[in-house]
Structure 1
């Protein structure tokens, strides 16, 4: 198996993007705060984007100098030492790595470069949807930085980072394709074990094992099973002490598989019919497929993300169906996302709950450009029955590139 990797040319390209962001925003430094390592879905990791290393650091660019990496513990340093012994091509040299992921570490770097009265851009002060509707920067850390550097003009630059990094390079697209191939392998493994008598855990384990065998270190999965449902999330037994459900004839298995390789993410919507599903499942699958095809037709340069979201919503509106989660959103990085959830109010049980918040489409003004990656996840609820299909799609020069046509359909159990 040919495993793609990143070159020093890719490092230089990314570091130049950091400097381009600084110039565009009129700042003399850039602070990239990274979410802690072992974060689950959709991690906020601009630090790893610039280091190609273990996530969970703060990276600081000061003027034209090479970046400084502030790690949270000596563990990252130990890993760096061992990687050097192995001959790995590392981006950050030892003298620019410090165990100082805290306010004092940030302040020290800025003062060393004479920037204690400058304008400084920050990644971590903007929302990062869908999971971080509020900024991810820790309140205590940032308050200390502000207190130590009252003359610095800190400026959120998340939008500039999105625009600068969302179109993937050829090296990045090779990594995305490898991740997407792994997602297909996971779906095929899940299909093999999807039969009456198997448990949700059997299906989950088959998919995860396929990813691990291919060297994917951080796969994840949402999973629901039953004759019909509107739930969408991790299996209940992953957070509540209870047995995994046993699959029965007539069930459907709906999963969202997350693959992350080289910190590039692909997503895969796995829908498996076990036997003959409820007619509403079949009808919802037809609507979801129409939404997928409408998205492909709109996923071209010259359109906006809003155009794409509207195109994918049209088949649902025509069928009087609704979507429980986004129909489409950006990947690498996450950002613009199609609205979802308003149809939940149709459910009679919804009246028993407090305030229900549905997410409107965000980032609709984003122009589509070659190299952008999207999670196509058209889903439709009809009569309380959900069907979800799709995969990762890349915006091409003239036409979209489907990386996962295998999961863009309702699959049938082989039992």
Structure 2
């Protein structure tokens, strides 16, 4: 078999141009990499378009699904990359929602309903983009402040410590009337400035941020510590520093999710951000697969679709001569049972911890 070099393509073996082959494989690799971003973002956008076209309760459920998506992606940035399960990320969501509410409620209404507020909080009134930026900053700052202490822990100890953070933040927001309502009362009057069209743009922006972080060097090093925590320091990897970076970024994203939640719900109360929301976001992430961005997206879509269907069935759906409904209280039971069955069949989540595969690459493998 002859081997000839050509100026245009390099090495040719048996009449086949390896340079072109490598070029094609390089292009396929780049498309496969980009598809891990484009695929989830496109699916989220199409799902939002469908919900918007249907309107009514479906559009409302779609808005809450996008908020849950942002919180789930925020949790995945830390937990999926480090392997440390956090029970405290809803604390960052809480402070983000608190900041957004305090900045967007009309000052006159704030002075009437929240008489104990600090004067600078009572007088401030910001547009929604500024409020979202502040919510993101507050969540990231709180995460950065506590990360040097929490990120030295591993396993169950880290999980319990983050849960302690959630409890502390919940108590502060409940009883410190200088930054909110008195004794756990609701903060009302948050304006509806974020319709579904804006929410989906913010959610896609969060997906892009997560994707960029996952391809950064610090994320790759942190994933190495996840696989072998003992060997990582011996390889020169500073585990604590890379955990702090991931924790801060994820806290900022969860703070942004809190701002979106406040704008969607329009009523903010400290009791909203407790164990219930914590385990809902964890369940979404575990259902989809904790180790991938695609897992956070798919888990949110499947969970939200099932939850919306159960809400409809709880109110009764007429099918011909029959009315199909489920009894009150059955919704969380069905959601919990679905999660158990899904994890029995797919212990690593629906995605198996893998990113979305480029379709052309999958077809070539089958061929």
Relative to its length, the structure with more helix (as a share) is 2
Specify the structure having the higher radius of gyration (Cα). 2
TM range (shorter): under 0.3
Relative to its length, the structure with more strand (as a share) is 1
TM-score (structure 2 length as normaliser) = 0.27
